[in-house]
Copies of this chain bind each other. A is one copy, B any other.
Amino acid sequence: MILTVTLNTALDVTYRVPELRPHTTHRVTEVTERPGGKGLNVARVLSALGHDTVVTGFVGGVTGAVLRQLLAEFATPGGGPKAPRGTITDALVPIAGTTRRTIGVVDAATGDTTQLNEPGPLVTTPEWSTFMDSYGRLLREASAVALCGSLPPGVPVGTYAQLIREAHAAGVPTLLDTSGEPLRRGIAARPHLVKPNADELAGLTGSTDPLRAARDARRRGARAVAASLGPDGMLMVTAHGAWRATPPRRLTGNPTGAGDAAVAGLLSGLVEEAPWPDRLARAVALSAAAVRAPVAGEFDRAVYDEALARIEVTEHPAAA
């Protein structure tokens, strides 16, 4: 199975309003709730691709209870008519604090989203110890682990480095998808793959040239870098070469979750031991297909199949 870690899970709430106008009162016409946080979105895409996943991280309070219930409903097989589905197993660790909500306010006129993210709950030292024990046990069964998203209050900034070292010791390859100081510290622990976007790479390395910045990130410790460049596709730099892939056409839609779909593509390629350019193509195609789906954690299967068939991967000349 593939393990995804989401330390700062969220109950993702989406509100549809006719038009968001600051400092006025709005009647919300539609409310949807789903289990959120990057690693949970990644698991849902992996499930649709046929991979079994286990999700861990922290969950608590009434929002946490709703999150777990929605996750269980999603994980129940037989719901979807689509391709073979992998299982999603809930290994979230209960905490005394309350799981945060994120509110996405979708403007029905334009389709644009305004996002309001609550702060995460405080994680105590005993809760962290319980998580680490569980993480160690889960690693024994994992073929890969993805470490996803921000850190909640009370979790040390060097945490991802610690989780990467544990995975190394267990012989499990790691993918790190975070930003800021947790990314900087995590990279130093030599993860197998990091997936920053261009802004995160520039923040890490000081370079706005993605190829130069990705090579710099490898020197800082990342064994491979898959950088998402928004509508321009992705750039991948490994020990074996550097490639770029661009989606066949520009797609408009909901960019939320495109990065999580790319992470799922990279993970599925990793556990299937696909060649690097194939992993990159899969990530870009899933990312494009996620843009065409209404919510994070889902993707449009037809767009995925079409994009995968048409994406061209070009190799960069060797590094200077």
Contacts and interface: CB of A to CB of B under 8 A. Distances in A.
A118 interface: yes
Contacts of A62: 62, 65-66
A22 interface: yes
Nearest to A20: B22
Interface of A: 15, 17, 20-29, 31, 62, 65-66, 103, 105, 107, 110, 112-119
A167 B65 CA distance: 41
A28 B116 contact: yes
A27 B119 contact: yes
Given A23-B114, A28-B117, 12 more contacts: A20-B22, A22-B22, A23-B110, A23-B113, A24-B114, A25-B115, A26-B115, A28-B118, A29-B119, A31-B119, A62-B65, A103-B103
Nearest to A69: B62
Contacts of A105: 116
A261 to B, nearest CB: 19
A115 B24 contact: yes
A27 B113 CA distance: 14
A15 B113 CA distance: 17
A27 B103 CA distance: 11
Given A62-B65, A66-B62, A103-B103, A117 B20 contact: no
